[in-house]
Structure 1
Amino acid sequence: MDDAYLPEVYQQFLGRFPEVAEAQGALAQAVRERSPFDPRTDRLLRLAMAIGAQSEGAVRSNVRKALRHGATLDEVRAVALGAITTCGFPTAIAAMGWIEEVAEAQ
């Protein structure tokens, strides 16, 4: 992945704590290898969890990754819409805003 694509805070983390970043990367890889889902579906599921956790950084990251893995913007938006009845309207609307900002930057 191109370093210019990574958020500045994550680039700083990689520089300061390379051994932690490497261990986290290995764990993420092990989890991905155990997933029965294709990468597109996996990213949409992770997006849903990020929205539920109200994690702006994770939402933004998973939007970018879902789009790279073939999800459409309509599918990504549908995940946020689905959060209205599960996570609440304010959570879903915040996520929709983050999704739109990522989409505009693409």
Structure 2
Amino acid sequence: MSDYLPSIYTKFLAQFPEVAEAQGAVAQAVRERTPFDERTDRLLKLAMAIGAQAQGAVKSNVRKALQAGAGLDEVRAVALGAITTCGFPTAIAALGWIEEVAEAP
């Protein structure tokens, strides 16, 4: 697993720095308001990203959850939990995205 930023995100940062800064400020305000520790917060965000079928957000939150101390088994469990809530195809897609992040150098 690497700490790389996807090219689409780095292009966004370069092209719209004021929007990126504003979005970052909103994200920070939300983080400061949450009662959850960072690990739990990242697992919750991962679950929401899986439900939204947002590949980029899933991969980003997998990386961030692992960096925050979540184990790969916990990350996979979030995707498995999506089977009964979001459907089997959504969960399988998420598991594939999780493995892509886990296998990255």
The reply to whether TM is greater than 0.5 is: yes
Alignment of 1:91-102 (within 5 A): 91-102=90-101
Superposition map of 1:9-28 within 5 A = 9-28=8-27
Alignment gaps of 5+ in structure 1: none
TM superposition score normalised by structure 1: 0.95
Return the offset for 1:5.
1.5
Task: Please name the residue that 1:88 is paired with.
Answer: 87
1:13-56: CA deviations, max 9, x gaps?
00000000000000000000000000000000000000000000
Q: Which residue of 1 aligns with 2:69?
A: 70
1:31-70 equivalences under 5 Å are 31-70=30-69
The Cα offsets for residues 49-106 of structure 1, whole Å up to 9 and x where unpaired, read as 0000000000000000000000000000000000000000000000000000000015
For residue 5 of structure 1, give the secondary structure of its aligned residue in structure 2. Answer: coil
Structure 2 partner of 1:79: 78
Normalising by structure 2, report the TM-score. Answer: 0.96
Partner of 1:104: 103
Whole-Å separation in 2 of the counterparts to 1:14 and 1:27: 16
State how far apart, in whole Å, the 2-side matches of 1:29 and 1:7 are: 21
Larger RCO: Structure 1 or Structure 2 (Cα < 8 Å, ≥ 6 residues apart)? 2
Aligned residue pairs total 103
In structure 2, the gaps of 5 or more residues are none
Counterpart amino acid of residue 39 in structure 2: R
When the two chains are superposed, the root-mean-square deviation of aligned CA atoms in Å is: 0.9
